[in-house]
Structure 1
Amino acid sequence: MTGDGQGTPHLYRGRVAFVDTDASGRIHFTAVFRWAEAAEHDLLRSLGHSFTGGFPRVDVQAGYRAALRFDDEYELALAVASVGKSSIAYTWRIRTGGEVAVEGRHHVVFVGDGERPHPLPEDLRGQLTSMLPAAPQGGA
């Protein structure tokens, strides 16, 4: 993520579980979205927040570049791409053996305990905003 316009990523490591695979022995396409969600929750916990169910996904996308198989170790780098009044956009990259296996993104909206969007808590907004990439410096 660093080097492609993203801020400092939050790293989340795991290993492909048997339940993550399909009949071909490769990961089922949905596994990466669970891993990205786990990385997001890990990030929020690391910032001192614990929200259960308050961030439904409104947009998700993944591009698969290399196969991941049962028991492969992976590293997911999650970066904050943008922070809105009630929403957060993340980008992420999954590597295994030094190779990019999946690149993706997802966008969530904070709903608190309800069904409608609510403004993000100010302390969380500040923490996530500080993780955004620095704006390019203008020059002559």
Structure 2
Amino acid sequence: MHRFPIRVYYEDTDMAGIVYYANYLRYIERARSDWVRDIGIDQNAMREDGLVFAVRRVEADYLSSARFDEELQVETSVQQVTGARLVMEQVVKRGEQRLFEALVTIVCVSDTGQPARLPANIRRLVH
């Protein structure tokens, strides 16, 4: 499991000081990018090879609110890897309390926008 710390900044909140719902998607995106880097996937090299990751699907549940200046953590874990997709669970927590949960499906697409298989070396890295 990958853990990524997040601090809630004023810009992340609405007028009530609560994290705006769409920012949870930004938080989990940052955590995925950090996880990809940590396991050794070079997304710049992928792009040079004509491949990029794309989010295909997000199933999200908002469970509780986060507020300005709180320290949160995004936990990312791989749920499924196939030849064409990667399914991850991502949870935003404050301490042990789950605030947001998402099941995210990632695919590879070519530089022309066509679906592509996940490269074998990437499938090995994410198992």
User: TM-score of the superposition, structure 2-length normalised?
Assistant: 0.86
Residues 20 and 87 from structure 1, CA distance in 2 versus in 1: closer, same or farther, beyond 3 angstroms? same
Equivalent residue letter for 1:81:
Q
Deviation of 1:96 (Å)? 0.6
Match status 1:128 vs 2:126: yes
Equivalent residue letter for 1:28:
Y
With 69-78 and 106-115 compared, the bigger mean Cα shift is at 106-115
Two-structure CA RMSD over aligned residues (Å): 1.6
Runs of 5+ unmatched residues, structure 2? none
Match status 1:20 vs 2:12: yes
With 111-120 and 12-21 compared, the bigger mean Cα shift is at 111-120
Runs of 5+ unmatched residues, structure 1? 1-8, 130-140
Equivalent residue letter for 2:15:
A
Distance in structure 1 (CA, Å) of the matches to 2:26 and 2:112: 22
Deviation of 1:124 (Å)? 1.1
Deviation of 1:11 (Å)? 0.7
Quote the residue 2:69 is aligned against.
Answer: 71
Distance in structure 2 (CA, Å) of the matches to 1:15 and 1:68: 10
Equivalent residue letter for 1:97:
G
User: TM-score of the superposition, structure 1-length normalised?
Assistant: 0.79
Deviation of 1:50 (Å)? 2.4
Match status 1:98 vs 2:109: no
Quote the residue 1:61 is aligned against.
Answer: 59
Runs of 4+ more than 4 Å apart: none
Quote the residue 2:82 is aligned against.
Answer: 84
Distance in structure 2 (CA, Å) of the matches to 1:94 and 1:105: 12
- SS at 1:111 equivalent: strand
Deviation of 1:99 (Å)? 1.4
Structure number with the higher helix fraction is: 2
